[in-house]
Structures are given as structure tokens and as C-alpha cells.
Copies of this chain bind each other. A is one copy, B any other.
Amino acid sequence: MSVTREKILELAEELILTKGYNGFSYQDISTVMGIKNAAVHYYFPSKENLGTSILKTNIQRFEEMVENMQNRNFDEHQQVESFMKIYLKSNRENKICLIGSLGTDINTLSEPMRAELQKMVGRIVNWLEAALEAGRSKGLFSFQPSARDQALHILSALVAGLQLARILNKSDFKNIHQAIWEEITPHANKQL
């Protein structure tokens, strides 16, 4: 794979996470990289193509992460913790996540991009649901709603947590993160 292509993907993703999909242009990419806007079009003929590629890359990255965790015999507690750590990193870097960013712009996206976004979110929710369910049956987690509802609830808190932290105070995210974790962790005093 071309190094230029990889860099464009990386930069475009960062721009989506910092300025939003409709808030960046090919010019933003080309000037930062020191190339011409037409060079970006060479690798990604259209913005839709670029956006879809970013989503495909992220789906692949997510599935590799899950596979890797399973290969290393991570239990569900460790898996969910690892997943949530991605969001802590995003918060440190003042970024939001693709779900929150593209969720805002969804009605302005082309159908293929929308489909890819749905695919990505679908896989994340399904994985989280399964991890929560399995973790609960092993006594690693404790929560009342269905695993799917709890997965949606956790993902929501993470996604908007980043957005709120960027509006209010970066450090607020740590508390949100902590609250999620305590919500599903079986503590001694939780039963009191």
C-alpha cells in the first residue's frame, strides 16, 4: 500500500474527528501533506470514496482488535476495558469518535457511506452485547437490562461523553468513563 494513501486516510480521519465530515476539504489534506488537491483525488476520486474507505479501515481495525484479544485469551472484563480505553485516548487527544461525528452528518452522507457507518456501529454493538452477556454469566459484570440495552447505553455514554468533554471540560470524561465502569462492575457495596 502507498504511504501517501495511508497518510491521507489517517489525516482525513483525524479531520473528521476534529472538524466533522462537512467541516474539512481536500485542500485541508493536501496543504498539510504538501501535495496538490488533485493528488488526493488520485487516491480517493471522491470524498464519499474517502469517507467509505475510512469506515472500512475502521471496521477492519476493530475486527483485528477483537481477534487479537481473543487470541490472547482476554476475558470479557479485559476486552471491554480495552475497548473503553480507546475512548480515553480519544479524549486525551481532544477527538470525538466516528460514531458521534458521522452520526451528526448522517443525512448529508451518500447511501454507501451511510451503509458502511451502519455496518461499523452494528458490529461494535453486537460485539459489546456478546461480551457483556458472556461476562455477566461468568460473574464479571452485573447489570439489570438486557445485554443489548446495556451495550447501547454504554456506547451512548462513551460517544457523547467525548462530545460533552470537548464542550465543557476535558477532565469530565474521566468521570463519565468511571461511572460506566462502576455501573457494570459487581462491587461489594453495590448490593447494599
User: Which residues from chain A sit less than 8 Å from chain B, CB to CB?
Assistant: 18-20, 22-23, 96, 99-108, 117-118, 121-122, 125, 144-146, 148-150, 152-153, 155-161, 163-164, 166-168, 172, 175-176, 178-180, 182-183, 189-191
Contact = CB atoms under 8 A, between A and B. Distances in A.
| Most chain B CB neighbours (cut-off 10 Å) among A121, A149, A166 | A149
A105 B163 contact: no
* Majority SS at the chain A contact face: helix
Contacts of A163: 99-100, 103-104, 159-160
B167 A118 contact: yes
- State the number of copies, please: 2
B179 A164 contact: no
Contact of A105 (B104, B122, B176): B104
Contacts of A158: 156, 160
Contacts of A179: 145, 149-150, 152-153
24 contacts: A19-B107, A20-B20, A20-B22, A99-B163, A99-B164, A100-B100, A100-B104, A100-B160, A100-B163, A101-B104, A104-B105, A106-B166, A121-B167, A122-B168, A145-B175, A145-B179, A149-B175, A149-B176, A153-B157, A156-B158, A159-B163, A160-B160, A160-B163, A191-B191
